[in-house]
Amino acid sequence: YEAYRLLHTEGSFIIEQGTLAAYKEDGVKKYQILATLDHRTSEVCWEQDGKVYKINDYTTGVTAPPFHPFCRTTTIPYYDDMEEGTRAARDIKGKSIKVPANMTYNEWKSKYL
């Protein structure tokens, strides 16, 4: 279990570091935190979901994932003129649904849980 936890968490760290490098290479100035919208998401990730940070403020565990062991939260590039869209979520029964892209975890929680 301990080895699996370490592998999962370090894998998330490496993926996010690669994502950060790609953001910098592509000239992305800001990124947004994207938590998983389901009942297993941790409170620290609830609070981070939807927040936007400058690339220069990227700090793993503080302004960027992983925030804790087994963290499933990720980032997406953020642009001030982003169009509306949808994102995946789960309803109370665990069924996949689509919600507005700008819906935060707390908004999702109040509507679906």
Residue-level pLDDT, tens digit, the chain, 113 residues: 999 999 999 999 999 999 999 999 999 999 999 999 999 999 999 999 999 999 999 999 999 999 999 999 999 999 988 778 999 999 888 899 999 999 999 999 999 88
CB 48 within 8 A of CB 35: yes
Q: Look at residue 82 in the predicted model and tell me its pLDDT.
A: 78
Among residues 57, 51, 56, 69, which one has the least CA distance to residue 12? 69
Q: Rounded CA gap, 101 and 10, in Å?
A: 28
Q: Look at residue 44 in the predicted model and tell me its pLDDT.
A: 96
Q: Rounded CA gap, 36 and 70, in Å?
A: 12
Q: Look at residue 50 in the predicted model and tell me its pLDDT.
A: 94
Q: Look at residue 21 in the predicted model and tell me its pLDDT.
A: 98
CB 74 within 8 A of CB 65: yes
Q: Which amino acid is at 35?
A: A
pTM of the model: 0.89
Q: Look at residue 62 in the predicted model and tell me its pLDDT.
A: 97
Q: Look at residue 11 in the predicted model and tell me its pLDDT.
A: 96
Handedness of CA 37, 94, 67, 27 (dihedral sign): negative
75 is written with which tokens? 């980032």
